Protein backbone atom coordinates (compact mmCIF):
# COMPACT_ATOMS: atom_id res chain seq x y z
CA UNK A 1 0.00 0.00 0.00
CA UNK A 2 1.33 3.42 -0.91
CA UNK A 3 2.26 5.77 1.89
CA UNK A 4 2.34 2.99 4.48
CA UNK A 5 4.42 3.68 7.59
CA UNK A 6 7.33 1.23 7.88
CA UNK A 7 9.10 2.84 10.84
CA UNK A 8 10.96 0.42 13.08
CA UNK A 9 8.40 0.81 15.87
CA UNK A 10 5.54 0.18 13.45
CA UNK A 11 7.06 -2.90 11.84
CA UNK A 12 8.57 -4.38 15.01
CA UNK A 13 6.26 -3.41 17.89
CA UNK A 14 7.50 -6.39 19.91
CA UNK A 15 10.97 -4.76 19.94
CA UNK A 16 9.91 -1.23 21.02
CA UNK A 17 11.78 -1.42 24.31
CA UNK A 18 14.88 -2.86 22.63
CA UNK A 19 14.77 -0.19 19.91
CA UNK A 20 14.52 2.51 22.56
CA UNK A 21 17.35 1.04 24.64
CA UNK A 22 19.66 0.58 21.65
CA UNK A 23 18.90 4.05 20.34
CA UNK A 24 20.05 5.41 23.68
CA UNK A 25 23.05 3.14 24.29
CA UNK A 26 24.43 2.31 20.83
CA UNK A 27 25.49 5.27 18.70
CA UNK A 28 25.85 3.18 15.52
CA UNK A 29 22.38 1.66 15.94
CA UNK A 30 20.91 5.10 16.63
CA UNK A 31 22.48 6.56 13.48
CA UNK A 32 21.28 3.68 11.29
CA UNK A 33 17.80 3.79 12.85
CA UNK A 34 17.55 7.52 12.20
CA UNK A 35 18.73 7.07 8.62
CA UNK A 36 16.20 4.24 8.15
CA UNK A 37 13.29 6.23 9.61
CA UNK A 38 14.22 9.34 7.60
CA UNK A 39 14.40 7.30 4.40
CA UNK A 40 11.08 5.63 5.18
CA UNK A 41 9.46 9.01 5.72
CA UNK A 42 10.89 10.33 2.44
CA UNK A 43 9.58 7.29 0.52
CA UNK A 44 6.12 7.72 2.07
CA UNK A 45 6.00 11.40 1.17
CA UNK A 46 7.06 10.70 -2.40
CA UNK A 47 4.51 7.90 -2.75
CA UNK A 48 1.72 10.17 -1.55
CA UNK A 49 2.79 12.79 -4.09
CA UNK A 50 2.62 10.20 -6.89
CA UNK A 51 6.41 9.73 -6.75
CA UNK A 52 7.66 12.87 -8.56
CA UNK A 53 11.00 11.10 -9.10
CA UNK A 54 11.97 8.50 -11.67
CA UNK A 55 11.25 4.83 -11.02
CA UNK A 56 14.93 3.92 -10.76
CA UNK A 57 15.51 6.48 -8.00
CA UNK A 58 12.45 5.28 -6.08
CA UNK A 59 13.56 1.66 -6.47
CA UNK A 60 17.02 2.56 -5.13
CA UNK A 61 15.53 4.33 -2.11
CA UNK A 62 13.34 1.32 -1.31
CA UNK A 63 16.31 -1.01 -1.78
CA UNK A 64 18.43 1.09 0.59
CA UNK A 65 15.59 1.11 3.12
CA UNK A 66 15.31 -2.69 2.94
CA UNK A 67 19.05 -3.16 3.45
CA UNK A 68 19.01 -0.89 6.51
CA UNK A 69 15.92 -2.62 7.88
CA UNK A 70 17.59 -6.03 7.58
CA UNK A 71 20.72 -4.78 9.37
CA UNK A 72 18.69 -3.21 12.16
CA UNK A 73 16.48 -6.29 12.54
CA UNK A 74 19.53 -8.53 12.86
CA UNK A 75 20.83 -6.24 15.62
CA UNK A 76 17.46 -6.46 17.40
CA UNK A 77 17.47 -10.25 17.20
CA UNK A 78 21.05 -10.43 18.48
CA UNK A 79 20.16 -8.20 21.41
CA UNK A 80 17.40 -10.63 22.45
CA UNK A 81 19.69 -13.66 22.61
Whether this model's pTM surpasses 0.85: yes
Integer-rounded Cα radius of gyration of the chain: 13
Q: What is the pLDDT of residues 8-46, one digit of tens each?
A: 999 999 999 999 999 999 999 999 999 999 999 999 888
pLDDT score, position 74: 97
pLDDT score, position 34: 97
Rounded CA gap, 64 and 22, in Å?
21
Rounded CA gap, 1 and 4, in Å?
6
pLDDT score, position 48: 86
Q: What is the pLDDT of residues 45-70, one digit of tens each?
A: 888 887 678 889 999 999 999 999 99
Buried b or exposed e, range 54-73, using 16+ CB within 10 angstroms: eeeeeeebeeebeebbeebe
Amino acid sequence: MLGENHSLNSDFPEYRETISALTTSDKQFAEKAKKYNDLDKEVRILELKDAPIDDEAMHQMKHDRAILKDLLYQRLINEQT
